[in-house]
Structure 1
Amino acid sequence: MSGLLEVIALHPADAERAEAGGADRVEVCGSLEDGGMSPTPQLVAQVRRATSIQVRVMVRLRDGFGTDGGEAVRLRGLMAAYADAGADGMVLGFLNGLGDVDAGVCAELVSDGTWPWTFHRAIDACLEQDRAWAALTGLPRLDQVLTAGSARNVEHGLGDLLARAKADPWAASVIMAGGGLQPDHVPWLARAGVHAFHIGKPARPGGSYKAYVDEGLVRSWRTLIDDEVRHRPAVPA
């Protein structure tokens, strides 16, 4: 068994280098404001032409994790355009005014598609984590949850991530650890049954988004993840 490695891509060159380093998937963002915003369909098409690995696209047009009916229409049109441009899946997640997963809105937004999708780090902003995770189980075609276990980063949320993965096999199967992920977190997460990992800055020289993704850095993560996932079976809950 090997792990899944996803890398943030802002340009076609990022996607090319991520693939060369052994990444399984890229998450395409138009910008990284407030945790990531939607790209243009044209950029998605360019990334699709540049790589043969999976492409998922950020679906988010404004700060925060809320949306409304008017924006939802735009988002559904944007996702259709991304799918037409060659995207394999989407990355989205919306909360209601009470800080809970807005399951109704999320289900409606994905209802037109057939693609798999990731619920992004909006999950880390939920006020009641157990209730939030319970809401995710009913969402159609959801196969990944990008989370740091904390609204800050994996360093602060690692304990919660490990506890949830060990206690809930479904959560372990969908967790994609990311948001300040460091190499020394990977063995602990792999032991707990987490097999998917997401990196942005660690894939770039100096940890700067001003630099393109570096093939060698991605390769080092690929090797680390595969070694840990293959050789560290999950600890029973």
Structure 2
Amino acid sequence: MSDRAVLEVIALSAEDAIAAQAGGADRLELVTDMAADGLTPPRETFAAIRAAVDVPLRVMLRAADGFSAGGAAGVDALVAQAAALRAEGAEEFVLGFLNPDGTPDLVAVEALVAELAGCRWTFHRAIDRAADRDALRTALAALPGLDTYLTAGAAGGVDEGLPVLVAEAARRGEPGYEPRLLVGGGLRLDHLPALRGAGLDAFHIGGAARPDGWAGPVSPSAVATWREALS
């Protein structure tokens, strides 16, 4: 495990991306519409960001608020978006869907993973709404490209989920626990000592990079504060 922790920052635009990279972000998560907790950005937005920065980009595949893929029609639309983004040069993605009973929607996830054809991807905070986190991991374990879980440890955020994050970090390398834990969701700087002490080495921020809220831009100095705290 590298001593340098990964810092991933949410970017909505090329301007965000440039600011985040200037502040020391290692990777960006590209989304649109944070009022819906982040949806798939337009292909043109990805292209503009890809041209503006040279850090890795993970692109959200999500059409609506919540964790439903939207049935067969929704899955088909997401597959088409994924194909268009791949044609534009996208190589890393973020996705995650649940059935109404809280089990992973394997039909939707497998359809997208097939389109991604080996691209690396993050299963996002749908895991924090899953009926059984361990069973979800087991169900997804054999899917190609899954290298990260974005999680707060609990639906309510890191304050609530910290014990789960510490326990799951201790299981790294066990079947279903090979993917890296990327901690995000109500994450604060004061959480870092306990998380780093538990061996966690990847962190995801959105609002924390924007002192003026989601209506304002990413602040390079806010990102740099996190980068320094992780160094």
Cα shift at 1:142:
0.4
User: In the alignment, does 2:37 pair up with 1:35?
Assistant: yes
- Contact 1:7 1:25 (C-alpha < 8 Å) held by counterparts: yes
- 1:116-160 deviation digits (Å, cap 9, x = unpaired): 011111110111122122223222110111000111111111111
Whole-Å separation in 2 of the counterparts to 1:209 and 1:72: 28
- Calculate percent identity across the aligned residue pairs: 40
Alignment correspondent of 2:186: 180
Alignment of 1:85-164 (within 5 A): 85-113=88-116, 114-164=118-168
Whole-Å separation in 1 of the counterparts to 2:199 and 2:86: 31
Whole-Å separation in 1 of the counterparts to 2:89 and 2:25: 18
Structure 1 unpaired stretches of 5+:
227-237
- 1:73-94 deviation digits (Å, cap 9, x = unpaired): 1111101111222323111001
Whole-Å separation in 2 of the counterparts to 1:169 and 1:223: 28
Alignment correspondent of 1:46: 48
Secondary structure of the 1:213 match is coil
Whole-Å separation in 2 of the counterparts to 1:111 and 1:173: 19
Whole-Å separation in 1 of the counterparts to 2:193 and 2:35: 30
Cα shift at 1:185:
1.2
Q: Which residue, out of 188, 192, 198, partners 1:192?
A: 198
Q: Which moved more, 1:97-106 or 1:21-30?
A: 97-106
For this pair of structures, how many residues does the alignment match? 225
User: In the alignment, does 2:2 pair up with 1:17?
Assistant: no
Alignment correspondent of 1:209: 214
- 1:30-84 deviation digits (Å, cap 9, x = unpaired): 1113321111111111111111111111111112212211111111110111122
- Contact 1:173 1:195 (C-alpha < 8 Å) held by counterparts: no
Whole-Å separation in 1 of the counterparts to 2:178 and 2:109: 21
Runs of 4 or more consecutive aligned structure 1 residues displaced over 6 Å after TM superposition? none
Cα shift at 1:172:
7.1
TM-score (norm 1): 0.90
Whole-Å separation in 2 of the counterparts to 1:97 and 1:205: 36
- Contact 1:48 1:85 (C-alpha < 8 Å) held by counterparts: no
Cα shift at 1:173:
4.9
Whole-Å separation in 2 of the counterparts to 1:159 and 1:65: 24
Q: CA RMSD in A?
A: 1.5
- Contact 2:79 2:111 (C-alpha < 8 Å) held by counterparts: no
Cα shift at 1:103:
2.8
- Contact 2:149 2:179 (C-alpha < 8 Å) held by counterparts: no
Whole-Å separation in 2 of the counterparts to 1:81 and 1:37: 15
Whole-Å separation in 2 of the counterparts to 1:187 and 1:135: 32
Secondary structure of the 1:56 match is strand
TM-score (norm 2): 0.92
Cα shift at 1:101:
1.3
Secondary structure of the 1:86 match is coil
